[in-house]
Each structure stands twice: as structure tokens, then as C-alpha cells.
Amino acid sequence: MASFDKGGGATTPFGKNAYLRSTQDVKYESYTCSAASVAVEVIDGFDQKILQSGEVMAKIATGDEAGKVGPFQAGATDGRADTANLVGINDTFLPWQLLERDVEIAVAYQATAVQGWCFERNAAGARIPLTNATADAMRGKKKLHVNFS
């Protein structure tokens, strides 16, 4: 007789984050994301480097990865902690690819987003909700037109 075993067990859910209030008039720029700039996370006992949609991205200004981008991170010494280096909000969901190589991503530089659905990284590299200070810096930056609702 046929049977079904669900198997597996409880796993940590994750998937692409929705961060846009509207998809109308969104404009993107292509950048290379530095794999070295994304912190390792442990998901169900396995090391992963996850770049989530909605993460604020900044240019890397110094070191071997200069010219690439990475998540805006407090305390980063390569330029990613400087609000002057903000380039926009990541749109590309990368659940594992950064474990192996740098990857091309799309970054929204003109959009209407929900601040509570966007992220930045703390000094330890953990994803945290976008702070008011970073959101204000994005609103005040030339060539970056992100409105938060």
C-alpha cells in the first residue's frame, strides 16, 4: 500500500524579502557584490552567505575589494560604514552564491520602499532593520532617490 512520510523536520524559513511599496518607476544599477563583504550566517547548522533583497548597499573604497559593493555595515573599515558611499537598495536575492564567488546584483537607486522592510548590518555583520539615520542619509544623497513610507 502506498504511503507518505513527510520527513525532514523543522527548518528555518527564508526567501526573497519584499521591500518595495510600489514597483512603478523603480530604476536599477548593476554592481558587483564582494563575497568577502557578506558575513557568514548559520542556517540549520550550515554556514551560508545570504544577501537579502532590501539590504542597503555601499561602495567599498579601500582594500582588495575596492570598487565593488557590499552591505552597509556599522564599523566596516573598507568604506561601507560611510554614508557618503551609499549606492541604493539591493534587489537581488542570493541565498548561497556568495559562498563561492563575487556576484553581479541589481541595486535600486530610485524607488519607493518601506523602511521597516529594509535592512543594514550591525558591527557584527548581523542583519538589522534600517535605522532612521541611514534612511535619512539615503534621502539626502545626490543621485539616490529613495522615498520611504
Concatenating the DSSP letter of every residue in 85-107 gives: GEEEEE---BSSGGGTS-EEEEE
Q: To which H or E segment does residue 134 belong?
A: helix 132-139
Confidence (pLDDT) at 3: 67
Going by pLDDT thresholds of 50, 70 and 90, the confidence category of residue 112 is very high
3-state secondary structure of 125: coil
Q: Vertex 21, ends 13 and 140: CA angle to 5°? A: 110
CB distance 69 to 58 below 8 Å: yes
Which bin fits 143, alpha (ψ -120 to 50), beta or left (φ > 0)?
left
Phi, psi torsion values for 73, nearest 5 degrees: -140, 125
Average pLDDT over residues 49-75: 97
Cβ-based burial of 78 (10 A; exposed 0-12, middle 13-18, buried ≥19) = buried
Q: Look-up: residue for cell 553581479? A: 104
Going by pLDDT thresholds of 50, 70 and 90, the confidence category of residue 108 is very high
d(CA 38, CA 112): 25
Instruction: State pTM to two decimals.
Output: 0.91
* pLDDT for residue 18 is more than 80: yes
Domain 20-148 has CATH 1.10.287: no
d(CA 1, CA 128): 50
State pLDDT tens for residues 57-67: 999 999 999 99
